[in-house]
Amino acid sequence: MKSEELVRQFYDAFAQKNFEAMNALYHPDVRFYDPVFQELRCFEVRAMWQMLCESGKDLEIKIGTIGGYDQSASVTWQAYYTFSQTGRYVHNIVSAQFTIKDERIFRHEDSFDLWRWSRMALGLSGLLLGWSAPMKKKIRAMAGKNLQKFIDNHPIYRA
């Protein structure tokens, strides 16, 4: 399968909140990185997508043009959703880079402006402090805690 097709299948599944189909496209040794979750390994990546799909009641995904090569791909995508912890509406613009191995997604790196995200998701505190290292650390800690709680409640993801 070509890398563009693999990535398109991933985002089509994401748009349908079908975390099982998303996770089936990942290599067993997948690694994921983004500004919030940072470095996640295989079972954490899979748990993260299930958690996000299940909590994103009004989640809408739009993908841009996918650029693909033999063993890599890139895409800019957008997510529209209500951040469950604050009830605030978020429009996140994300650039994603993929490395493909054995016809599966082996490395997945999302990048986005965390300060922009925090202004939308957190409101005034995100506007005033979202750029700062302490606030970024707090956002990451909160996300990590939520992911760990999700993993603890879903034995299939325990290492």
What are the residue boundaries of the structural domains of the chain, listed by start?
Answer: 3-113
Q: Could you write out the DSSP letters of every residue in the chain?
A: --HHHHHHHHHHHHHTT-HHHHHHTEEEEEEEE-TTT-SEEHHHHHHHHHHHHHH-TT-EEEEEEEEE-SSEEEEEEEEEEEETTTTEEEEEEEEEEEEEETTEEEEEEEE--HHHHHHHHHTHHHHHHTTSHHHHHHHHHHHHHHHHHHHHT-GGG--
- Determine the average pLDDT of the residues in 31-55: 95
pLDDT at 7: 95
- Determine the average pLDDT of the residues in 39-63: 94
Residue 64 has pLDDT above 70, yes or no: yes
CATH number of 3-113: 3.10.450.50
pLDDT at 126: 84
Lowest mean pLDDT of 39-48, 71-80, 137-146, 148-157, name the range: 148-157
Q: Identify the band that residue 1 occupies on the pLDDT scale cut at 50, 70 and 90.
A: low
Q: Identify the band that residue 33 occupies on the pLDDT scale cut at 50, 70 and 90.
A: very high
Q: Which residues of 29-41 are buried (b: 16+ CB within 10 A; e: fewer)?
A: ebbbbbbbbeebe
Residue 81 has pLDDT above 90, yes or no: yes
